[in-house]
Amino acid sequence: MHRPRLLLFLLLLPGLPLFAAGNHEQYNSGWRFNADNDLLTGQTTDRDYTGGLAFTWSGARAQQNPVSLDKWRAGIDRLTGFGNLYRSSEHVSFHSQQAGMTLFTPDDIESRAPVYDDRPYASLFFLSNTEFTVQPEADIAWLSRLSVGFLGLGLAEDVQGVLHAVTGSDTPNGWQNQISAGGEPTFLLTCAMQNKLHASNTWQLKTEYEANLGFITDINAGFTWRWGRIRSPWWSFNPYQSKYIQQSMPVFSSRGRKNEFYLQAGARLNLRLYNALLQGQFRDSAVTIGSGDLRHLLAEYWLGATLEFGKAYYASVFLRGLSSEFRGPGSRNAAWVGLVFARAY
């Protein structure tokens, strides 16, 4: 490494909280718990993306867990040449693994018969592994992720039934009509990049670009902004990474003398080519949305706040909205609230 580059890299090391001496990633860098629910928006109906739960493990352990997709993810990167985009320059990589679920329902959840003029029941239970790579000198960050899971498991009805019993909500009766009822394996491959536009201790702005192939196939572009008391690097903040629920990302600590507190906002445009959660996959489904009724250009936004407390504990709340995903009588915009709790080490 040339001496000027080496000096610059050493100066940047304080901003790389999980990059330890000797180029070794921290084994356990933290965890994150996500919970989404549309009822938290104050609406009285339970519909569309009705909710999700996810837990993320962060650090090198994500690669070494007994059940890990990281070798498969890395193999795909080698096959596609994605890693060549940054391998020839100085970079640091971080890893995470996530297990989660997402649930979707039509507006009428009391009917046992198929509801043909609305979105279908759908569920996804998944596991994913992420590698997040930062090029400090270039102000660029790269991401690759592999997710595998199952559509149509009967477990979805049990989970939502318990949640609705706890909250006193109406019992959902139509899960036998969900997409791929009985269960069907699926996958999602994600590649993305970020560019820093501005970063200071008071506000940060970056652009982000992403491509997905699998149960959701699309390309999208957008921006993420935050403002407040910021102690963590620009690339450590990633609400953009979501497919309904916020997806697996490494957990980063501010490592600052004062706890962070900031407001956040962002938006993106999405060119969507396929969505198995609406259109179904290979297995026959009682209700599906045809390709001709799928809206291919979608707009998404999010806004919220994040507070660090007790040194390296984080709590976030955000509102996320999505424009109508299909045409027809049941077409409407969707919104839900997400709660995030995290611990960084």
CA 332 from chain centre, in angstroms, equals 22
pLDDT in tens, 247-269: 999 999 877 768 999 999 999 99
pLDDT by residue (tens digit) across 75-93?
999 999 998 999 888 999 9
Cα dihedral value 344, 241, 333, 122, nearest 10: -90
Q: Which residues contact 339 (CB under 8 A, 6 or more apart)?
A: 34, 35, 36, 40, 315, 316, 317
Go through the domains of the chain in sequence order and give each one's CATH number. Answer: 29-344 (2.40.128.140)
pLDDT value at position 333?
Answer: 94
Whether the CB-CB separation of 336 and 36 falls below 8 Å is answered with: yes
Q: Exposed, middle or buried: residue 171 (CB in 10 Å: 0-12, 13-18, 19+)?
A: exposed
Query: For 192-247, what is each residue's pLDDT tens digit?
Result: 999 999 999 999 999 999 999 999 999 999 999 999 999 999 999 999 999 999 99
Region of 226 on the Ramachandran plot (φ > 0 left; ψ -120 to 50 alpha; else beta)? beta
Determine the longest span between alpha carbons in the chain, in angstroms: 70
Residue from 308, 304, 191 nearest 256 by CA: 308
**Residue-wise pLDDT tens digits, 94-122:** 999 999 999 999 988 889 999 999 999 99
Distance in angstroms (rounded) separating the CA atoms of residues 127 and 281: 19
Helix (H) or strand (E) holding 11: helix 3-12
Residue 12 has pLDDT above 50, yes or no: no
pTM greater than 0.85 (yes/no): yes
Question: Using one digit for the tens of pLDDT, what is the confidence trace for 127-151?
Answer: 999 999 999 889 999 999 999 999 9
Residue 23 has pLDDT above 70, yes or no: no
pLDDT band at 168 (very low <50, low <70, confident <90, very high): low
